[in-house]
Structure 1
Amino acid sequence: MPICIPGELPAQDVLSEENIFVMESNRAVNQDIRPLQVGILNLMPNKIETEVQLLRLLSNTPLQISVDLIRIDTEAPKNTPKAHMDAFYHQFEDVVNKKYDGLIVTGAPLAMLDYEQVKYWDKMQVVMDWARRHVQSTLFLCWAAHAAVYHYFGLNRFLRESKLSGVYAHQVKQEHDELLRGFDPIFNAPHSRFGEVALDDYDSQPELDILASSEQAGAYIVASKDKRMVFVTGHPEYDSDTLAQEYYRDLKAGIKPELPDNYFLNDDPAQPPVMSWRSHGSLLFTNWLNYYVYQITPYNLSDIA
């Protein structure tokens, strides 16, 4: 089944070229189907690239999904045209009374700031409290995952001496959890972050389960026992060249980044990146939509509490 997005959203052309079934909102409203309502709070600077990445992963399911793009700031990011934001994004205040089957909160390039220094931290706290009452299951990615466990459980991150950048092997810790159904015991996933929350800190919270982790990258997938919160500390949505773009961006800025681990063929940046996480990234989103959202969410969204 398709994902339902605005007809002029740039992601539609990209996804159509990849033979992914997308449906314009006007056509979707004429079908006698109750689509899943999914919100995406996109905090990444390059909104359009992130939209394509997330919509691609949401599309690999038999469920019909209607997507709202949400923003909590009033200024257009430098890497996204203001016209795009005005045309396709809802201000949070415009959807505050709506309920969603699922919500995705992306990462953000805010690694070196304390949470209280983030200009929209107050609004983030409002959104996270709102999600507990208005969303069946929320998926937090990278920076948002750490921000959420800090807000909900008081678990603060520490900053690594060097940026964790690359593709790392992870081990399944809870093989019978539905979120990991179909996963290989060891699988790859990309990370790009400075922050980390210690495994012992997650273990100290009886409401949380560590579902997958890595010797090099620490906790990767953590979920609440009620399935209403999922914290993913990496970037399963990344394209094959996203880490390369970040690496060359930092080189150009004079930051002297380390080469991403286990990423370029033969660890040679002149060679192409090796894509080794797409299947598990897709499966993670499909399992989340099926087992953490669709199988649990009430038919009448007003019943979410």
Structure 2
Amino acid sequence: MPINIPKQLPATKLLKEEKIFVMDQERAYTQDIRPLNIVIFNLMPEKEKTELQLLRLLGNTPLQVNITFMNTATYESKNASKTHLNTFYSTFDEIKEKKYDGMIITGAPIEQLPFEEVDYWREMKEIMEWSKLNVTSTLHICWGAQAALYYHYGIDKFPLTQKCSGVFRHILTNQVEDLVRGFNDKFNAPVSRYTSVSREEIERNEHLTILANSEEAGVFLVKSNDNKFVMVTGHLEYDAHTLAEEYNRDLNKGIEVEMPKYYFPNNDPSSQPLNTWKAHTHLLFSNWLNYYVYQATPYDWE
């Protein structure tokens, strides 16, 4: 089944070329079914790349999904065009009276800042508080995951001695949860961050369950026991070349960073990386949409 997105969204052409079933709003309105309503709070600097990455995953399920993009009202993105944001994005004030079946809060390149020093932290807190009563389940990615652990559970992030970047092997620590149904006991996942969270603090919290962990990269997948919040500390949504783009961007800025681990074939940055995590990415998103959103959300929110 399709994802329902604005007719002129730039990602539409690429999604169709990849045979992802997309439907514009005009056609969707003629279908007499109850679609899922998902809001994506996109905090990543390159909005259109993140849109494409997430839409291809949300479009690979048997469910019709209506997508709303949201951006910050208290901070103006330096990388996204105003025309694109004005055309395809809403602010929180414009959507806060609505109910949503699911929400995705992306990462953001601000993890080295204390949460309280983030320009839009007050707005972020308001949105996360709103999600408790107005969203069936929220999927938080990377910095978004750390923000959720801090706001909802008081678990702060801590700085790493060097950036954790690469494709790391993760181990399932809980194999019975629906969110990881179909996962291998070990799976690869991209990680790209300067901070981490304490496994011990999460394990001591009676409201949280760790589902996957890496000896090198730390905690990867956490859920609240009521399935309201899912926290992914890495970037399963990344394309094969995304870590390479980040690495080259940092080098061009004069930032001293190590080459992403276990990523380039033969550790040769000129080699084309392979996507070794795609299957588990699709499993995670389809499991979340099915078990935590579709089967949990009310047919009529009112």
Q: What's the TM-score, normalizing by structure 2?
A: 0.99
The aligned amino acid for 2:194 is F
| Corresponding residue number in structure 2 for 1:51 | 51
**Structure 2: which 5+ residue stretches go unaligned?**
none
| Corresponding residue number in structure 1 for 2:240 | 240
| Corresponding residue number in structure 2 for 1:86 | 86
Instruction: Tell me whether 1:195 sits opposite 2:195 in the alignment.
Output: yes
Deviation sequence 1:159-183 (CA, Å, 0-9, x none): 1000000000011111110000000
Structure 1 stretch displaced more, 67-76 or 5-14 = 67-76
Deviation sequence 1:252-305 (CA, Å, 0-9, x none): 000021000000001110111121011101110000000111111110123xxx
Structure 1 contact 101–137 (Cα < 8 Å) conserved: yes
Structure 1 contact 101–301 (Cα < 8 Å) conserved: no
Q: Quick one: structure 1 residues 119 and 74, their matched pair in 2 at CA, closer, same or farther if it must change by over 3 Å?
A: closer
Q: Distance in 1 between matches of 2:25 and 2:201?
A: 43
Deviation sequence 1:214-266 (CA, Å, 0-9, x none): 11111111001110100000001001110000000000000021000000001
Alpha-carbon shift at residue 78 of structure 1 (Å): 2.5
| Corresponding residue number in structure 1 for 2:6 | 6
Q: Distance in 2 between matches of 1:270 and 1:103?
A: 37
| Corresponding residue number in structure 1 for 2:70 | 70
Secondary structure of 2:190's partner? Answer: strand
The aligned amino acid for 2:124 is M
Secondary structure of 2:39's partner? Answer: strand
Instruction: Tell me whether 1:161 sits opposite 2:180 in the alignment.
Output: no
- Number of residue pairs aligned between Structure 1 and Structure 2: 302
Alpha-carbon shift at residue 129 of structure 1 (Å): 0.2
Secondary structure of 2:85's partner? Answer: helix
| Corresponding residue number in structure 1 for 2:213 | 213
Q: Distance in 2 between matches of 1:268 and 1:102?
A: 40
Q: Distance in 1 between matches of 2:297 and 2:125?
A: 23
Secondary structure of 1:202's partner? Answer: helix
Structure 2 contact 172–213 (Cα < 8 Å) conserved: yes
Q: Distance in 1 between matches of 2:173 and 2:262?
A: 22
Q: Distance in 2 between matches of 1:212 and 1:74?
A: 34
Secondary structure of 2:107's partner? Answer: coil
| Corresponding residue number in structure 1 for 2:113 | 113
| Stretches of 4+ aligned residues off by more than 4 angstroms | none
The aligned amino acid for 1:132 is K
Q: Distance in 2 between matches of 1:75 and 1:16?
A: 32
Q: What is the aligned-residue RMSD (CA, Å)?
A: 0.8
Deviation sequence 1:169-225 (CA, Å, 0-9, x none): 011111110000000000000000011111101001101000111111111110011
The aligned amino acid for 2:248 is Y
Matches within 5 A, 1:129-140: 129-140=129-140
Q: Distance in 2 between matches of 1:21 and 1:32?
A: 18
| Corresponding residue number in structure 1 for 2:230 | 230
Alpha-carbon shift at residue 76 of structure 1 (Å): 4.3
Deviation sequence 1:53-104 (CA, Å, 0-9, x none): 0001111110000000011235542221110000000111000000000000
Q: What's the TM-score, normalizing by structure 1?
A: 0.98
Q: Distance in 2 between matches of 1:229 and 1:111?
A: 20
Q: Distance in 2 between matches of 1:8 and 1:301?
A: 29
Q: Distance in 1 between matches of 2:8 and 2:255?
A: 37
Q: Distance in 2 between matches of 1:239 and 1:221?
A: 19
**Structure 1: which 5+ residue stretches go unaligned?**
none
Secondary structure of 2:138's partner? Answer: strand
Alpha-carbon shift at residue 30 of structure 1 (Å): 1.2
Q: Distance in 1 between matches of 2:2 and 2:82?
A: 28
Structure 1 contact 190–238 (Cα < 8 Å) conserved: yes
Secondary structure of 2:193's partner? Answer: strand
Q: Distance in 2 between matches of 1:301 and 1:262?
A: 45
